[in-house]
A and B are shown apart, each in its own frame.
Chain A
């Protein structure tokens, strides 16, 4: 039932986007399908009139061929039919090619637009992960395939119907036989098709396991462990087990499907024999002409294979129809509610008032009744253990989620009611898992503030501040010609491996590009959501220095579990289990007995001994400047 609904949906969609070509294709497919019956009829006429012609010749012993006109007429008719049939079929296929292209042209932008209009929660929800993975492909191809399959099935049905009609006209008995045999044959075919789908799902687990093992076998880290631990046996044993399981299920499917297949084909054979006998009896008894006999035999063998083909076509159709279900689910997803229209704010203070939050569809409260305020220009740090809710605070602040209760406001207005443009002017965020875009360096940096896209000076300055200046300039002495060319391109060079001239950056270099995005932005607040977590402590310490220097005048919101970085904040909020347990400056918090003090003492104990080390008493600012130099130095390598 679902499959039928999906097919209708596909046809509707495809007619909506490309009405003219689809209609032409349908006509070109369906009209020649009716020719099949016609061909049988014409063949019968040819044979009969040819025999008649020969007969008359024999009787009259005369020169010339009387009655040849009708023979020629039917002959020419057959030839025209054949040419017309195959030409239309081809033309129909060409029209479908056009449809496929137009779908990519007209439907794909709609899909992309729709994706940008979805509520962000859908992207993170567990149950829609697979959906989005499929959406990142080309869903219009699924729609196209499903429509194609539907067309073919209809075409086959018409062919069958027209052949049957002709058979009925020749001999109702033979026709009745087809109906009697055909119905169970089709039923068996569909049953087998449905059954295969079920078993394919059953073997999915084994196949996924095989995939996982294979992934391990080409993962250098896994192979390192495997060699050192001499664990090849375990891998291969697991491989054997999964692939064995897969083979078992596949064989089981095979056996069951084959039973059905054998039954249906035997029916076909029985039927063939029946028709040959009936036709022979008719011929010998004189109730069928020779032409009818030949035509009936010709048509019948065609019908048998058509019946089979159409059940196979049905399997395909079922598959492709179920395949597009995800697209229909996609259309049902919620539209985003964070496109507010507020364009100006009286002030830029941030307020979280009694905010509680749990992710949609989950049971656990990530934030519990959190209240805090951040004044414009204030430097704030959130600290806490993994899972304390730090990153969720950022997502709520950006308006990606609606709080379950309470309100998140900037300048007294709920963030989701701000216009997207205003929100961007308020906040600039560097996420922990910042993305590396396989576009030009210019775009990668300017994504922090698009209006600076063509402002080379600003972009270069941002890169310089992030310690990534050399990315836009030449690299080393003695570089090759290609490298020389990429130098000229500067900001416009392609990053990543997508383009042939693209240059992939190291993790650390990408990090600098991501940081440059924050520097190019002129938003009121810069939010840093642990962007340094993947760096080693040394590289991290260089980053802190840059933050401290550059964001001196702007509001900063820093998320970290390394407490050293929190020290430079005016206000530190300690999160634990979804609540704010402590608030205050570093000194204030150190004076209290609490989580912050404990965490800080443990972390600083890593370096306790350093106090005794000579030279440690030097003033910190001087060191910072050195550190910055060192950072740039290292970037150049």
Chain B
């Protein structure tokens, strides 16, 4: 409850920030609009009274004029309102979208490993600009509430009986709505897994990869059967609950319209009995018609706002994800060694430790190769080394400067990476390379040279220049897997850094191409400290040091020949691969 109050507070604050003009205008227009609406039946009554008494003349003309004005007021105000509402929607989308984007950039990397984070993001994205909708719904509800009140005042002028019957009409409307909402919400919650299953199975028929397998292996029929079962189960349940609720809802609505009719009937008999004038009756008629419409809208809006609030909540909940924790020490380039001491690391939600007491050291200028089987913690190690992840126990220090104490940005300035899962940005080729060091982005000549070195002379020509958009999604040029990898390596080299980390991709690349790319890369980083995760022997052979990892620990360390001679893990890994080429 407290949270709801807080979030609703945020919503109104943010709405004011995103579209201040609309925010104020809404209340002004709503106020005027409601006043006009309330005046319409009153003026009508007056007209009928005057005309009925046969008193024509100036007063009647004036009242008719006012009546016309009040009627016209609604549509004119609506024009303003709609125009600014559309603007506000756009502004809101930008404002709330930007806040989401800016915050996402601050989230801790570790949090991104958690699938829950992505889930939260998708929900927040779904709730993007729900604030605008919430704001509109709440205001519409308020406005309709005011109209209802106004209409009750109008009929109250003629007879208090009408106020009582009018208010009575509210009760069945509200109670049936609450009853049905509750039922349907609980039903939908119960049905969502069944629904998900149906959608999943159905999706299999339209996905080319699954269709290929289903046809080639011949289990289309089986999946069809499974889907039909699930669909039947889902519809049966739907029929028994939701449809049943809707059927009852028809009765609820009928009760509501009976109430409405009873109200008119009461007014009618008051008139027939001579208690109120004909004009008053006409006014009551108009008032009740407006009242009935407003009540329905009011109730609908209140419930819609409750639904929308859930989205608002999803949106603001996203902002509770932990952001990057920064140290405040400025990094001073290391002269001696990087010391890794008894480092432990566990991914949130994972059962075991990804790093389980890793200890090793890397001297300045050394070329280190890390080898090990899948899941031995190589990639995790590389991410801890760059300071992107922090050890949960133990420490990684650059000449005694521990990564967790450093302002990460100052360390990053000296490190460049080519990650295993490098990113294929749907940007221009120039941006894809230059992103690693934005300040040098303008130096196109150097970039062209670098690309020629990494990817060969013909590459730039083939793509069509640095300003060519990459990725088919935006009508740009699509690169092959090997070409993307070359771009990623150029990206890693574009940044002038004293430390380079390369995590070899295990993609389905052509071995020939891969070999060529890697050997060029190794050549180009001869003068820097480098850590390469690779299985390639010629890289191992030229390494100053090979770190062999197993189960999150270093099991061996040394040069290629020494390790082979030792007959341990390294020799085993090595032989497993080599035997196919003997």
Contacts and interface: CB of A to CB of B under 8 A. Distances in A.
A283 interface: yes
B422 to A, nearest CB: 7
Given A82-B257, A398-B215, A610-B575, 12 more contacts: A43-B285, A83-B261, A108-B202, A212-B474, A224-B388, A238-B427, A240-B98, A431-B209, A562-B511, A599-B511, A606-B581, A615-B575
A565 B580 contact: yes
A20 interface: no
22 contacts: A86-B253, A90-B250, A104-B235, A116-B224, A214-B104, A219-B112, A230-B412, A239-B101, A247-B90, A254-B90, A262-B79, A265-B79, A269-B76, A276-B68, A293-B47, A294-B44, A297-B71, A400-B212, A448-B217, A508-B374, A534-B506, A623-B579
B422 A606 contact: no
A82 B510 contact: no
Contacts of B529: none
A244 B97 CA distance: 12
Of listed B75, B200, B538, residue having the most chain A CB within 10 A: B75
Contact of A538 (B193, B383, B577): B577
A615 B215 CA distance: 47
Interface string B550-582: 000000000010001101000101111111111
Given A225-B435, A276-B71, A212 B426 contact: yes
B580 A541 contact: yes
A588 B86 CA distance: 74
Interface string A259-285: 001100110110011001100100110
A407 B438 CA distance: 55
Contacts of B383: 224
B228 A109 contact: yes
Interface string B258-271: 10110011001001
Of listed B226, B250, B278, residue having the most chain A CB within 10 A: B278
A488 interface: no
Contact of A217 (B90, B101, B536): B101
A24 interface: no
Contacts of B64: 276, 280
A10 interface: no
A228 B258 contact: no
Given A50-B271, A294-B282, A610-B574, A123 B86 contact: no
A195 interface: no
Nearest to B73: A269
B320 interface: no
Contact of B510 (A386, A439, A537): A386
Given A533-B508, A614-B565, A218 B215 contact: no
Q: What 9 A-B pairs have minimum CB-CB distances, sorted nearest first?
A: A564-B580, A610-B578, A604-B581, A276-B68, A607-B578, A533-B508, A136-B206, A123-B208, A220-B112
A434 interface: yes
Interface string A47-66: 10011011001000000010
Contact of A613 (B101, B217, B243, B575): B575
B535 A537 contact: yes
Interface in B131-182: none
A537 B577 CA distance: 7
A428 interface: yes
B254 A104 contact: no
A137 B205 CA distance: 11
B473 A227 contact: no
B480 interface: yes
B197 A498 contact: yes
Contact of A385 (B65, B204, B512, B577): B512
A251 interface: yes
Nearest to A132: B206
Contacts of B101: 213-214, 217, 235-236, 239
A225 B218 contact: no
A350 to B, nearest CB: 15
Given A94-B250, A225-B419, A283-B51, A433 B209 contact: yes
B243 A208 contact: no
Contacts of B224: 112-113, 116
Contact of A132 (B207, B232, B575): B207
Interface stretch (B113-121, B304-312, B333-341, B394-402): B113-121
Given A112-B205, A229-B495, A261-B79, A222 B423 contact: yes
Contacts of B235: 101, 104-105
Contacts of B431: 234
A158 interface: no
A605 B581 CA distance: 9
Nearest to B497: A228
A588 B495 CA distance: 48
A210 B202 CA distance: 29
Given A97-B246, A450-B219, A535 B506 contact: yes
B416 interface: yes
Given A258-B83, A261-B83, A116 B205 contact: yes
Interface stretch (A67-75, A147-155, A317-325, A455-463): A67-75
Interface stretch (A174-182, A340-348, A419-427, A550-558): A419-427
Of listed B220, B506, B576, residue having the most chain A CB within 10 A: B576
A205 B104 contact: no
A536 interface: yes
Contact of B94 (A83, A229, A243): A243
Contact of B438 (A97, A213, A231, A435): A231
B332 interface: no
Contact of A71 (B125, B207, B272): B272
Contacts of B445: none
B126 interface: no
A517 interface: yes
Contacts of A434: 213
B100 interface: yes
Contacts of A272: 68, 71-72, 75
A448 B373 CA distance: 29
Contact of B75 (A68, A269, A276, A567): A269
Interface in A295-314: 297-298, 301, 304-305
Contacts of B271: 50
Majority-rule SS of B interface residues = helix
A258 B206 contact: no
Interface residues of A, number: 174
B239 interface: yes
A46 B272 CA distance: 11
Interface in A409-468: 420-421, 423-424, 427-429, 431-435, 437-439, 443, 446-450, 453
Interface in A529-579: 530, 533-539, 541-542, 544, 561-562, 564-565, 567
Given A112-B227, A228-B412, A276-B68, A72 B272 contact: yes
A400 B215 contact: yes
A610 to B, nearest CB: 4
A101 B193 contact: no
Interface string B270-281: 011010001001
A191 B195 CA distance: 39
Nearest to A54: B278
A439 B261 CA distance: 56
B373 A68 contact: no
A364 interface: no
Contact of B243 (A101, A438, A610): A101
B71 A301 contact: yes
A544 B580 contact: yes
B188 interface: no
Contact of B374 (A104, A266, A499, A535): A535
Contact of A218 (B82, B104, B239, B256): B104
Nearest to B89: A250
Given A120-B215, A218-B112, A209 B474 contact: yes
A246 interface: yes
B427 to A, nearest CB: 7
A11 interface: no
Contact of A615 (B413, B481, B567, B577): B567
